[in-house]
Amino acid sequence: MKKLLFCLCALSSPLFAATKPNVLFILADDLGWSDTTLYGTTKFYHTPNVERLAKRGITFTRAYSASPLCSPTRSAILTGLSPARTGITTPNCHMPQVVLEVTVGKKGPPNQKVVQPNPPTRLKTEYRTLAETLKDAGYATGHFGKWHLGPEPYSPLQQGFDVDMPHHPGPGPAGSYVAPWKFADFDADPDVPNQHIEDRMAKEAVAFMEKHKDGPFYLNYWMFSVHAPFDAKKALIEKYRASVNPADPQRSPTYAAMVESMDDAIGTLLDTLDRLKIADNTIIIFTSDNGGNMYDKVDDTTPTSNAPLRGGKACLFEGGTRVPGVIVWPGLAKAGARSDALIQSEDYYPTLLEGLALKAAPEQHFDGSSLLPALKGGGLSGKAVFQYFPHYGTVPDWLPPAVSVHRDDWKLIRIFHGGENGAHRHLLFNLKDDLSEKHNLATQKPELVTELDALIEIFLKDTHAVVPVVNPAFDPRQYHPELEGRQQPKIKAKAPAKDDSDPALQGWKARDCKATVKDGIVRVTNIGSECFLGFGAGKHSGPSTAIFRIKAKPGTSHFDWLPVGGKAQHVPFTLKGDDWQEITVQLPAAGPLGIVRLYLPMQEQPVEIDWIELRSADGGTVTRTEF
């Protein structure tokens, strides 16, 4: 299906565009429901700017992400479509393989009852995004921060955004939150030592708002925070270390520092709206892409706790999908109000369309619905929301492939073919009385199970969901139901052999890609978002030059050197065409280079390299690799 056309003939005048309110969408990454001070569930974290935001609009106590993982929720926000419909149900959109359609799984291990579907790895450009709709309505559009829905040609620049920074396809910040980073073409400010990525991104977002202060603009501030890797400003870590309570399940000073930097960025955005005197004409949505991370380790504890909710990121219990939610809509939503209406990620797009008096394109469909009645102080009686997660997990409180529905105070989880003889298994909870989901009432209320499961069935058919199927290779003797919900240890990869690369590479090592040599040319395939060729260049010291002959798609990347005991330093370079070209990169090193890395921009087609040369500035040391 081609991208849907959208007629805005009646809305084409400059006057119309100038009177439209701005839209600021703030999306946190992995921020749990209990990670802010909105709901009275934390004593350790400090989020005064989130509180400040809440005083300007409505705080939703029952806001849900479309998925317990990031990429599915991001796709739902941009399209208004459930992950069940798009098929994007895992955060695999940084993988090198381009897969655009979900398919039925073919096989599974004998200890699993069902076979998981195979999800896409990109958000197709055929879907009409919120950015495209607002851009056609006269909005300047900018995306700042994490994307994770595919590199070019599926990046924000192909999905309706005029600006994209740092134009990074990966799942988290490149290397670290504190500079130096490893983005292909995005560096810290040279006059700000140890700059935090959110400080830098907020600065760029401020510049965008200043440029388009006369409006209207649509600004995605999709934070990297508070996703792994877990690091933060040292001063903030020490601040929180002094107030750790060992009895509090939230006790990671590093994570608390990350939350504060996230909150500081929100404060910077609010300060700018006030300074530019456009706060009264700006809609703000604040939420998270999924629940808090309960499975990694930092400071000898889990990053956070979602208590009193059960579970966290990557599971369908409340801790995985219930998230903070605030909507500021001047003139519509009462400032400082609270609502217990059920809302989810798919609702924001149709809400903005109705509130801005814009029409959907012909044949455009939404799985979400408008929240305007709730924003006006009413309810959303009878509304049901669904989360579809057809995958096995390894985190605490994980479930086999499942789908859930919330309606009123009730929540039903269907575990696909998890019962006897291939039947579905169900978990039923009354969240008003049992927020921690400790008491499964499915056997006590079979009629309610049947009623809610019928809603799930309608949802799956309406979205044309590709669902898990019975595993023909299932062996009951290898099935261990007692392991369900228990975190599985990460399987450590086998240590590579001392020489794990093709000898023809002459000491260069390929990472996050595959490199082979034929007829004197290195051919690099399966190029991931962190693909590089590395080489031990310890005999080179001081200012040096890297020169290489390469054939690749146009793009930007960087050449790094990693001194022993030091931080990686990198210099960007640009590939200008599809034909052979010679690239020269100056490396202003102050000592031995250590390890050098030639990073390659993520792309489908193979990259070819003829030769690579390292040359000391004094000309005394030259290493040239002719493949």
Tokens of 374: 């709730």
Are residues 220 and 75 part of one domain?
A: yes
Domain-ending residue, one of 331, 356, 378: 378
Decide if pLDDT at 500 tops 80: no
Decide if pLDDT at 495 tops 50: no
Distances (CA, A) of 367 to 324, 345, 520: 21, 10, 53
CATH code for position 27:
3.40.720.10
423-437 pLDDT, tens digit per residue, is 999 999 999 999 999
Q: CA-CA distance, 29 to 228, in Å (whole number)?
A: 9
- pLDDT for the residue numbered 187: 87
Query: Letter for the amino acid at 600?
Result: L
The pLDDT confidence band at residue 491, using thresholds 50, 70 and 90, is low
Domain-ending residue, one of 351, 378, 405: 378
Are residues 522 and 374 part of one domain?
A: no
Contacts 24+ apart (CB under 8 A), 97-104: 97/121, 97/526, 98/122, 98/604, 100/124, 102/466, 103/466, 104/466, 104/469
CATH code for position 544:
2.60.120.260
Tell me the mean pLDDT in the region 455-479. Answer: 95
430 within a domain of the structure (yes/no): no
234 within a domain of the structure (yes/no): yes
Tokens of 61: 């106590």
State percent of the chain over pLDDT 90: 73
Placement of tokens 């927020």 in the chain: 435
- Of the two residues 95 and 62, the one the predictor is more confident about is 62
The pLDDT confidence band at residue 11, using thresholds 50, 70 and 90, is very low
- pLDDT for the residue numbered 497: 41
Identify any residues that bridge with 527 across adjacent strands, giving them in sequence order: none
Closest by CA to 285, choosing from 192, 351, 194, is: 351
DSSP-assigned letter for residue 409: T
Query: Letter for the amino acid at 612?
Result: I
576 within a domain of the structure (yes/no): yes
- pLDDT for the residue numbered 557: 82
**Cβ neighbour number for residue 19 with a 10 Å cutoff:** 11
**DSSP codes, 136-203:** HTT-EEEEEE---S-STTSSGGGTT-SEEES---SSS-SS-SBSS---SS----TTSTT-BHHHHHHH
Q: Which domain holds residue 230?
A: 23-85+125-378
386 within a domain of the structure (yes/no): no
100-135 pLDDT, tens digit per residue, is 999 999 888 999 999 999 999 999 999 999 999 999
445 within a domain of the structure (yes/no): no
The domain total for the chain is 2
Tell me the mean pLDDT in the region 54-75. Answer: 97
Q: CA-CA distance, 156 to 167, in Å (whole number)?
A: 8
1 within a domain of the structure (yes/no): no
Q: CA-CA distance, 604 to 279, in Å (whole number)?
A: 43
- pLDDT for the residue numbered 481: 87
- pLDDT for the residue numbered 528: 78
- pLDDT for the residue numbered 93: 92
Highest mean pLDDT among 130-144, 176-190, 470-484: 130-144
- pLDDT for the residue numbered 529: 74
564 within a domain of the structure (yes/no): yes
- pLDDT for the residue numbered 12: 34
Are residues 272 and 136 part of one domain?
A: yes
The pLDDT confidence band at residue 490, using thresholds 50, 70 and 90, is low
What is the four-CA torsion angle of 179, 180, 184, 190, rounded to 10 degrees? Answer: 80
Evaluated on CA atoms 556, 200, 187, 28, the torsion sign reads negative
Are residues 512 and 370 part of one domain?
A: no
224-272 pLDDT, tens digit per residue, is 999 999 999 999 999 999 999 999 999 999 999 999 999 999 999 999 9
393-402 pLDDT, tens digit per residue, is 889 999 999 9
389 within a domain of the structure (yes/no): no
DSSP-assigned letter for residue 500: -
pTM, two decimals, is 0.83
Closest by CA to 288, choosing from 63, 96, 496, is: 63
- pLDDT for the residue numbered 501: 56
Cβ neighbours for 376, distance < 8 A, ≥ 6 positions apart:
332, 333
Tokens of 468: 């898990």
Mean pLDDT (the chain, rounded)? 91
Domain-ending residue, one of 330, 348, 378: 378
Cβ neighbours for 599, distance < 8 A, ≥ 6 positions apart:
182, 184, 530, 531, 532, 557, 558, 559, 560, 570
Strand residue runs (E) in 431-507: 469-470
